[in-house]
Amino acid sequence: MDFELSMEQEILRRTVRSFAEKEIAPVARELDEKEEFSLETCRSMGELGLFGMVVSEEYGGQGMDYVSYIIAVEELARVDGSHAATVAAGNSLGIGPLLYYGSEAQKRKYLPKLCTGRSLWGFGLTEPNAGSDAGGARTTAVLDGDEWVINGSKIFITNASAPNSLGVTVMARTGTREDGRGAELSCILVERGTRGFTAREMHGKMMWRSSNTSELYFDDCRVPRENLLGQRGKGFHQMLETLDAGRLSIGAMGLGGAQGAYELAMRYAKEREQFGRPISSFQINAFKLADMAMEIEAARLLLYKACWLKDRHQPFGKLAAMAKLYCSEVMGRVASQAVQLHGGYGLMKEYNVERFFRDQKLLTIGEGTSEIQRLVIARLIGAI
């Protein structure tokens, strides 16, 4: 057994940490307040190399392993959830499906641009009436000569309507399954600017306010036949596999967010005095901090182990679901107690801890709710 990170991973952590502290932290609160996606920070994250982390150099990526990628997301989330979301969705959901299922031509066409962070790509699975039950998608794609004609809509799609969004992968019904059991689902690539395709930015989010979230509308939208991603009929499977890996990055957001909230709480509790003593010296508060430190450590080990399995090409789905669930719930508890330790100040926008408190809530909902994770785990351990 070896719990040590490689030297490259240590250097990477330090680099991303100092980048996040110097470039993201100073603007995070204001972007959150204005509910504004920043092209500028997105570009500088791209210049650092945060997009295409696991993509080989051949396609413009960094050729790093999954543990490295997860460390980078963790360090961003330690400072700001929205920026971590842009990078996590960019890598796992935008780049991921193109990398794993794209044809050589599709990879050559899109990956080099996406790996610079100058362009983003969305992953359109969720629909207004198909969330947890993503297989119940209603969007259709019908082959008409050499073109797919797409109709329907998607909701909550990250990175799909930013000024630098280049396109989306859409899961649609392309027929009925050969065995007659339900719809045949396939993934199709749609570029921004295609007639009949509209991506509209969603506003009024409680969390991830400077991450771009979109509604997509397809109205007789026609794309070339070769825009099919991988095999016809494999769409649902592709999406599920993508989510398996995506869960690791949601886990990283939970872990990093928990770490960030914990550090804020620790600092504040040592500085704030009541009854003539730092509030951290009251045992009930010290124990809260102890619990936080313990849960974060456990979360980190679980998540890193899941990534380690993935890097070794071993089955990692069960641990990915556990890590996603556990890390996001740990961040929930940590952020809540961190606000508690801040007292009234913790409820004010002036204190960053309130942003962690809000940002946390997405993590138990996005990319499979906590209920769905428990379902996945229960199935994988053979309970149901």
Partner 1 sequence: MNLVVCIKQVPDTETQIKVGADGKSINMDDIKWVMNPYDEFGVEEALRIKADKGGDVIVVGAGPKRVTEALRTALAMGADKAILIEDEGLYGADPIFVGKLLAKAIEPLNPDIVFFGQRAVDDDCGLASSSVAEALGMPQLAVIVKQELDGDTIKVQRPVEGQTNVLSTKLPVCLTAQKGLNEPRYASLPGIMKAKKKPLEVKTLADLGVERDDKIEIAAINPPPERAPGKVIQGETPEELAVNLAKALREEAKVI
Ligand X SMILES: Cc1cc2nc3c(=O)[nH]c(=O)nc-3n(C[C@H](O)[C@H](O)[C@H](O)COP(=O)(O)OP(=O)(O)OC[C@H]3O[C@@H](n4cnc5c(N)ncnc54)[C@H](O)[C@@H]3O)c2cc1C
Of 13 and 237, which CB lies nearer to ligand X in the complex structure?
Answer: 237
Q: Which does 82 bind (CB under 5 to 8 A by kind): ligand X, partner 1, none?
A: none
Residues in 45-104 that interact with ligand X by CB under 6 A: 89, 93
For residue 306, which of 320, 292, 296 has the smallest C-alpha distance?
320
Among 62, 86, 158, 161, the residue binding ligand X under the rule CB under 6 A is 158
Residue 366 binds: one of ligand X, partner 1, none (C-beta under 5 to 8 A by kind): ligand X
- Assess 330 for contact with partner 1 (CB under 8 A): no
Name the pairing type of β-strands 147-158 and 140-144.
Answer: antiparallel
216 binds partner 1 (CB under 8 A): no
Q: Name the catalytic one among 74, 75, 127, 367.
A: 367
Residue 132 binding ligand X, by CB under 6 A: yes
- Number of residues interacting with ligand X: please give it, by CB under 6 A: 22
Least spacing, CB of residue 156 vs ligand X, in Å: 3
Interface mask toward ligand X for 194-223; x: CB under 6 A: --------------x----x----------
Binding test (CB under 8 A) with partner 1, winner from 33, 40, 47, 219: 47
- For 261, half-sphere exposure in the C-beta direction (CA atoms, 13 angstrom radius) is 34
Examine the residue annotation and report whether 367 is marked as an active-site residue of this protein.
Answer: yes
Q: How far is the CB of 317 from ligand X (least distance, A)?
A: 17
Q: Which is nearer to partner 1, 18 or 129 (CB)?
A: 18
Three-class secondary structure assignment of the chain: CCCCCCHHHHHHHHHHHHHHHHHHHHHHHHHHHHCCCCHHHHHHHHHHCCCCCCCCHHHCCCCCCHHHHHHHHHHHHCCCHHHHHHHHHHHHHHHHHHHHHCCHHHHHHHHHHHHHCCCEEEEECCECCECCCHHHCCCEEEEECCEEEEEEEEEEEECCCCCCEEEEEEEEEEEECCCCCCEEEEEEEEECCCCCEEEEECCCCCCCCCCCEEEEEEEEEEEEHHHEECCCCCHHHHHHHHHHHHHHHHHHHHHHHHHHHHHHHHHHHHHCEECCEEHHHCHHHHHHHHHHHHHHHHHHHHHHHHHHHHHCCCCCHHHHHHHHHHHHHHHHHHHHHHHHHHHHHHHCCCCCHHHHHHHHHHHCCCCCCHHHHHHHHHHHCCCC
Out of ligand X, partner 1, none, what residue 223 binds, judged by CB under 5 to 8 A for its kind, is: none
Part in contact with ligand X (CB under 6 A); list of ranges 74-82, 172-180, 330-338, 367-375: 367-375
265 binds partner 1 (CB under 8 A): no
Q: In angstroms, what is the minimal distance from the CB of 185 to partner 1?
A: 35
* Residue 337 binding result from ligand X, partner 1, none, given CB thresholds of 5 to 8 Å by partner type: none
Q: How far is CA 202 from CA 162, 210, 212, 242, in A?
A: 11, 11, 8, 23
Distance of closest approach, residue 350 Cβ to ligand X, in angstroms: 25
Residue 222: strand pairing partners:
149
Q: Does 12 bind partner 1 (CB under 8 A)?
A: yes
Q: Which of residues 54-83 bind partner 1 (CB under 8 A)?
A: 57, 62-64, 72
- For residue 304, the minimal CB distance to ligand X (Å) is 24
Min dist. Cβ of residue 166 to ligand X (A): 15
| Binding-site member from 98, 125, 199, 258 for ligand X (CB under 6 A) | 125
Residues that bind ligand X (CB under 6 A): 89, 93, 123-126, 131-132, 156-158, 208, 213, 362, 365-369, 371-372, 375
Hey, which residues are catalytic here?
367
